[in-house]
Amino acid sequence: MQIIVDIGNTDAVFGLYNQTGWHTIWRTPARKDESAESYERRLRLWLLEADIPLSAIKTTVLSSVVPDLTPTMRGMLTELFGFAPVVVGPGVYPLLPLEILRPHEIGTDLVANALAAYMQYKRNCVVVDFGTALTFTTVSDKGQILGVAIAPGLKTAIRSLFANTAQLPEVPIEVPSSALGTSTTHAIQAGVVLGYEGLVRSLVARIQAELAGDCLAVATGGLSQRIPSLNDVFTAIVPSLTLDGIRLIGNFVTSSTDRL
């Protein structure tokens, strides 16, 4: 079994993978001030509740876009399981069947998205990740990452309104029945949620046009299913896609090591 860890700017996601797929996925806030011991206690408890002994975990893979948390999580995994995790980053990218644009700049989560989409479809594909940021990562049918577009995520946009305006409340991410807001909450939902529907449709269409229409669109991320009216844009909605890609990166690295 494998433990796959994806540290994002909002959440830390831990996936337990066995031969048949994802056994369990856990999510907890990613706090830079939280100790390694605290994360270790949480992971121990999750595994205990899942009736999984520590000895059953044979590999761990870590992807992090929060540099301050990377050594904390790497040390925790090493201490807990007795071996170091595969850490996703530019040092392992040459082992992947990808051509990566600016490997020292691109987020490890975006590389994972590109690899998972490429291995699944082997076609031009744009992965739309609904996370803290809303990202569009396009990978070609030859495994070349063609480019990335980034916008603030849904929650980030709503929280920015809440934090920077005196009279606007933080509101739930729900699709309103009308674009004509009749209350403050409704107005924010109309502007942000319906506005983001238009943003996603427009940007996916533009990316597809630049590739002469030959480009699938796949959605992932914690908020990927919060705007159902976008379902027709996507070939698939795969909430675990980033974890899938991180796991695949780990497999390429360990396979290469085994051959040495």
Q: In what order do the strands lie in the sheet with 125-130?
A: 145-152, 133-139, 125-130, 216-220, 236-237
Contacts of 111 (CB under 8 A, 6+ apart): 88, 93, 96, 98, 100, 145, 245, 249
Q: What is the dihedral of CA 96, 101, 106, 111, to 10 degrees?
A: -30
Report CA-CA distances (Å) from 195 to 66, 157, 164, 223. Answer: 28, 11, 19, 15
Active site residues: 109
Q: How is residue 51 written in tokens?
A: 């009736």
Ranges of H-type helices in the chain: 36-49, 70-81, 108-121, 154-164, 184-189, 195-210, 241-259
Q: What is the DSSP letter of 25?
A: E
If we measure between CA atoms, which residue out of 143, 153, 128 comes closest to residue 238?
128
Contacts of 104 (CB under 8 A, 6+ apart): 90
